[in-house]
């Protein structure tokens, strides 16, 4: 089946540092990947849509300069939280669509990355 | 008001009981997902449907497009079914640039007691 990995699974960093989270499709090519964020006891929220070879599309209220997304290949998208602050502490999840066996709207989810900013 | 509403928010049941989780949405959707999230946070996609009914093992998902409502049923529930169940839809005309991104309900925290 379609497998999506994320790295790291957990990260703790100091305030002001930048953190990069990788999302990889392991056995399929993904022209589109999505980044979601989940605060404790809250719903998942779409942050941005990442399209291979083009700029990401951000949701309202998500700072583009703070959450840098790069989708440089068909199997990898990265989310970089720049100058992280404690309020950025959250659970970040990516999902991907299989470009090769495309079932419209089907998404495969990564296991998530728990970010804690001290 | 959240565009995707789930009920109940919390549900505790005994092993073997038939479980129903409901999801309603306020605008048209192109597809609705049922997801399962375990305590570690990882998400598993259970179903994606845009009409009718789907069944996988003990899980059944139905959707009524006209009524903007979907249900997830678990038959012969088991403690390993304990998780948070989330419905999520791709909403027509949703705000922002993510036209194909999901809008999530708040989830239903299900506990099945032995």
Say how many CB pairs under 8 Å bridge A and B: 81
pLDDT at B41 over 80: no
pLDDT at B40 over 80: no
Residue B93 φ/ψ region, left for φ over 0, alpha for ψ in the -120 to 50 degree band, beta for the rest: left
Cα pseudo-dihedral A99, B68, A92, A113, rounded to 10: -80
The length of chain B is 114
Rounded to 5 degrees, φ, ψ at B81 are: -80, -10
The residues pairing with A93 across neighbouring beta strands, listed in sequence order, are A36
User: Could you read off the pLDDT of A12-50 as tens digits, one per residue?
Assistant: 999 999 999 999 999 888 888 999 998 887 888 889 998
User: Could you read off the pLDDT of A53-81 as tens digits, one per residue?
Assistant: 888 999 989 999 999 999 889 999 999 99
pLDDT at A104 over 70: no
Q: Which of A44-48, A114-118, B72-76, B91-95 has the lowest mean pLDDT?
A: B91-95
- CB of B2 within 8 Å of a chain A CB? The answer is yes
- Tell me which residue has tokens 């999530």: B104
Other CB atoms within a 10 A radius of the CB of residue A13 amount to 16
- Tell me which residue has tokens 């789930």: B6
Residue A1, pLDDT score: 66
Of B97 and B5, the structure prediction assigns the larger pLDDT to B5
pLDDT at B96 over 50: no
Nearest to A53 by CA among A30, A27, A36: A30
Distances (CA, A) of B55 to A14, A53, B50, B59, B88: 46, 37, 14, 6, 18
The bridge status of strand B10-14 relative to strand B108-113 is parallel
SS3 B1: coil
- Across residues B35-57, what is the average pLDDT? 88
Q: Which of A69-78, A96-105, B24-33, B89-98 has the lowest mean pLDDT?
A: B89-98
- Tell me which residue has tokens 């989940």: A38
- CB of A2 within 8 Å of a chain B CB? The answer is no
| CA end-to-end span of chain B | 36
Residues 81-110 on A with a CB inside 8 Å of B are 91, 93, 95, 97, 103-109
Residue B3, pLDDT score: 86
Residue A101, pLDDT score: 61
Residues above pLDDT 70, as percent of chain B: 91
Q: Which of A54-63, A82-91, B58-67 has the lowest mean pLDDT?
A: A54-63
- Across residues A72-99, what is the average pLDDT? 92
Q: Which two tokens stand for residue A59?
A: 């949701």
Nearest to A77 by CA among A59, A105, A96: A96
CA distance B88 to chain A (A): 9
């Amino acid at each position: 089946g379609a497998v999506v990995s994320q790295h790291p699974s957990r990260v703790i960093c100091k305030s002001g540092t930048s953190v990069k989270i990788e999302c990889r499709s392991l056995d399929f090519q993904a022209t589109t990947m999505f980044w979601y964020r989940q605060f404790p006891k809250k719903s998942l929220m779409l942050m941005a849509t990442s399209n291979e070879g083009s700029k990401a599309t951000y949701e309202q209220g998500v700072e583009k300069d703070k959450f840098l997304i790069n989708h440089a290949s068909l199997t990898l998208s990265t989310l970089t939280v720049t100058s992280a602050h404690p309020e950025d502490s959250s659970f970040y999840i990516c999902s991907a669509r299989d470009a090769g066996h495309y079932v419209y709207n089907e998404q495969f989810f990564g296991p998530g990355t728990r970010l804690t900013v001290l | 008001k959240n565009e995707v509403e789930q009920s109940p928010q919390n549900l505790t049941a005994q092993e073997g009981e038939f479980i129903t989780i409901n999801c309603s949405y306020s605008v048209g959707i192109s597809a609705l997902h049922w997801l399962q999230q375990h305590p570690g946070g990882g998400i598993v996609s259970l179903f994606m449907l845009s009409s009718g009914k789907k069944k996988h093992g003990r899980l059944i998902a139905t959707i009524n497009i006209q009524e903007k409502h979907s249900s997830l049923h678990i038959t012969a529930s088991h403690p390993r079914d304990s998780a948070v169940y989330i419905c999520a839809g791709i909403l027509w005309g949703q705000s922002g640039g993510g036209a194909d991104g999901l809008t999530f309900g708040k989830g239903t925290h299900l506990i099945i007691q032995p």
